[in-house]
């Protein structure tokens, strides 16, 4: 008798993460977990994203009892301060002005939870961006074309946002978009999921 093959669930409603996971050619279901994503007092960016990635994966265990659940969360840190999604053009411009000439680090927490065996594996994937010196007019032109209000840091590296960078540093540029695929393949292999 063969073992039940667990289904794969992405604990996210993010279209960006869904598109990234599609690159691996795996069949999966996507559902948003209902968790409190606020940072705890004095919680660092890396600790926050690891905790949230694990909580997102764990939150869907009752709905998907025979599944491998992938949780992910990302935070941008500029000079020790967590930078969230801007939400408005005014905040987006302020974020990009603050990023001008700076070295920003994005931390992505990634978790894979095997519900059947109550086994969680998680890690943190850093990826850094060094911004060019940006003037107000450059930022205005960028935001007029690609507002990126739903992206931490107010840019899309997979789009025109790449023009704002001097360089990028890290092992997987997918981490910058919100799902580090190299690390995910490593974690999935620990649970017997082979890609390709």
Write out the catalytic residue numbers.
Answer: 73
> CA 26, CA 131: separation in Å to the nearest integer?
34
> CA 20, CA 178: separation in Å to the nearest integer?
8
**How many CB atoms are closer than 10 A to CB 128?**
15
Q: Residue 171 has what DSSP assignment?
A: S
Pairing relationship of beta strands 67-78 and 29-30 according to DSSP bridges: unpaired
> CA 154, CA 177: separation in Å to the nearest integer?
12
């Amino acid at each position: 008798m063969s073992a039940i093959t667990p289904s794969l669930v992405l604990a996210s409603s993010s279209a960006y993460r869904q598109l990234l996971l599609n690159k691996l050619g795996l069949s999966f279901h996507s559902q948003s977990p209902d968790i409190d994503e606020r940072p705890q007092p004095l919680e660092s960016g890396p600790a926050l994203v690891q905790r949230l990635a694990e909580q997102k994966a764990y939150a869907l265990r009752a709905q998907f009892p025979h599944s491998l659940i992938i949780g992910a969360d990302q935070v941008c840190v500029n000079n020790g301060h967590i930078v969230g999604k801007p939400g408005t053009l005014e905040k987006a411009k302020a974020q990009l002005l603050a990023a001008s000439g700076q070295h920003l680090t994005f931390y992505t927490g990634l978790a894979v939870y095997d519900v059947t065996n109550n086994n969680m594996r998680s890690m943190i994937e850093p990826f850094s961006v060094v911004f060019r010196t940006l003037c107000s007019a450059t930022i205005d032109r960028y935001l007029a074309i690609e507002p990126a209000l739903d992206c931490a840091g107010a840019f899309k590296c997979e789009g025109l946002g790449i023009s704002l960078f001097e360089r990028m540093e890290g092992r997987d540029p997918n981490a910058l978009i919100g799902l580090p695929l190299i690390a995910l393949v490593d974690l999935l292999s620990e649970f017997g999921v082979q890609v390709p």
